């Protein structure tokens, strides 16, 4: 597949955190939305299947976007709350916070 500007991954949310996690994403902070836009992230969607969530967005430069988010106070506040809700790593300051999924098909 030719280089893609899309990023996707999955996470599982802890049972006891599911309602709060959903509420935070149904009613996200306006500041968190703006920071993601400033980072260059667009067409960001999250899909739910029980406690498993699938995340997908487009971005011209993922490394730059993640670096911007890692330095954002608002994003760090959001991540401090939501990181306790996911099973696995969530810290953008870690070497591998997300295991990206490889795009193998795209219909234009």
**Residue-wise pLDDT tens digits, 59-102:** 999 889 989 999 999 999 999 999 899 987 666 566 556 677 88
Residue spans per domain, the chain? 6-87
What pTM, to 2 d.p., does this model score? Answer: 0.84
Which of 101, 92, 106 lies closest to 9, judged by CA? 101
CATH code: domain 6-87 is 3.30.70.100
How does pLDDT run across 4-25, given as a tens digit for each residue? 789 899 889 999 999 999 999 9
Q: Which residues contact 53 (CB under 8 A, 6 or more apart)?
A: 10, 11, 12, 13, 46, 47
């Amino acid at each position: 597949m030719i280089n893609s500007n899309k990023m996707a991954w999955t996470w599982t949310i802890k049972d006891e955190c599911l309602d709060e996690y959903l509420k935070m994403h149904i009613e996200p902070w306006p500041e968190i939305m703006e920071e993601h836009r400033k980072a260059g992230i667009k067409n960001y969607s999250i899909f739910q299947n029980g406690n498993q969530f699938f995340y997908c967005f487009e971005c011209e430069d993922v490394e730059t976007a993640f670096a911007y988010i890692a330095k954002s106070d608002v994003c760090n506040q959001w991540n401090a709350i939501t990181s306790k809700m996911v099973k696995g790593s969530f810290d953008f300051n870690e070497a591998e916070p997300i295991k990206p999924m490889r795009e193998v098909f795209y219909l234009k």
